[in-house]
Amino acid sequence: MNAIISATELADDLAGRRPPTLLDVRWQLSVAQAAGEPPFDGRAAFEEGHIPGAVFVDLDEELAAPPGTGGRHPLPDIAEFGAAMRRAGVSADRPVVVYDGGQGWAAARAWWMLRWTGHPDVRVLDGGLPTWEGPLETGLTTPAAGDFRPNPAAEGLLDADGAAALARSGLLLDARAGERYRGEVEPIDRVGGHIPGAVSAPTNENVAPDGRFRPAEELHARFKSLGATDGTEVGVYCGSGVSGAHEVLALAVAGIPAALYVGSWSEWSSDPSRPVAVGPDPQ
């Protein structure tokens, strides 16, 4: 099953006999927000206009636990996550489509959470809301409760030790911007740099200028050039497990399974005892 869906395909599915549950996960993180200025209000944006039938899901409240030693967006309590998904109308036997404002990071985090916890049919709207050409509706949506019960997989998730080990034994990709990987700038976390052995692979290079993913064969070639050859175990991290989920999604489009280090750099760099590499080389 393809992990992404076009706006045309989504319109057809919504008009069909078995329409998907539609989740709106508009969210964004800016340096201004990290500096303490008011955050982007995804719920307000949702109420101003969303794809008909969509339900708003709050990334910070429902797809992550509060910031702490586990990073800025650690895993949520699984029971609480399941309750949030059921409130949003998610059921195990009904397809789910997730979208955001176009960046794709937040939608990918929801996609990853649902897939990792066992939902069999989840896709991301490629290019997000800007690609939708149909009508929008305003206000809130109150769906019928779903029945989804999360059952986390034994694979697909890395902790700090697992990420460090994978950087040595397999391929650990750093999805952040190259200047953060190299340690030239660090606008959010305690220190700049990267996990020793990790390879720089900015997730924004996986998409075309219009925000849609590049073709699967291009993505496959890119990841192969970075070291994702047959039989290589692949993992991804970013700043806080959001843009990294987008890279895991790109890898899925390319046909390459990958695990996510959810704590990512915000967890890794918070512990002064963990090693930090700087510069363009994995080291």
SS3 of 80-105: the string is: HHHHHHHHCCCCCCCCEEEECCCCCH
- CA 185/CA 242 separation, integer angstroms: 19
Count, residues in the chain:
283
Q: What angle do CA 196, 33, 272 make, to 5 degrees?
A: 30
Indicate the pLDDT class of residue 269, thresholds 50, 70 and 90. Answer: very high
Helix axes 243-253 and 216-226, enclosed angle (nearest 10): 110
Please state the pTM of the whole predicted model: 0.96
Given a cut of 60, whether residue 94 has pLDDT beyond it is yes
> pLDDT value at position 194?
98
Q: Decide: helix, strand or coil at residue 66.
A: coil
> pLDDT value at position 39?
76
Report yes or no: 70 and 103 within 8 Å, Cβ to Cβ.
no
Report yes or no: 281 and 207 within 8 Å, Cβ to Cβ.
no
Q: What is the CATH number of domain 4-131?
A: 3.40.250.10
Which active-site residues does the annotation give? 238
Given a cut of 60, whether residue 34 has pLDDT beyond it is no
Bridge partners for 173 per DSSP: 199, 236
Which of 5-19, 21-35, 121-135, 195-209 has the least mean pLDDT? Answer: 21-35
- E-strand ranges in the chain read 4-5, 21-24, 55-56, 96-99, 122-125, 157-158, 171-174, 199-200, 234-237, 259-261
> pLDDT value at position 212?
97
Q: Decide: helix, strand or coil at residue 243.
A: helix
> pLDDT value at position 1?
73
Write out the DSSP string of 44-57: HHHHH-B-TT-EE-
- CA 106/CA 73 separation, integer angstroms: 11
> pLDDT value at position 29?
77
At 216-246, the pLDDT tens digits run 999 999 999 999 999 999 999 999 999 999 9
Mean pLDDT, residues 86-104: 97
CATH superfamily of 157-268: Rhodanese-like domain (3.40.250.10)
> pLDDT value at position 37?
65
Bridge partners for 24 per DSSP: 56, 99
Average pLDDT of every residue of the chain = 95
> pLDDT value at position 32?
47
Given a cut of 60, whether residue 35 has pLDDT beyond it is no
Q: How many helices (H) and strands (E) does the chain have?
A: 11, 10
Same fold, 4-131 and 157-268: yes
Element (H, E) at 237: strand 234-237
Mean pLDDT, residues 55-74: 96
Q: Which two tokens stand for residue 132?
A: 């939708």
- CA 257/CA 234 separation, integer angstroms: 7
CB contact set of 69 (below 8 Å; sequence gap of 6+): 267, 270
Mean pLDDT, residues 120-135: 97
Q: Where are the domains of the chain?
A: 4-131, 157-268
**What count of other Cβ atoms lies within 10 Å of the Cβ of residue 14?**
16
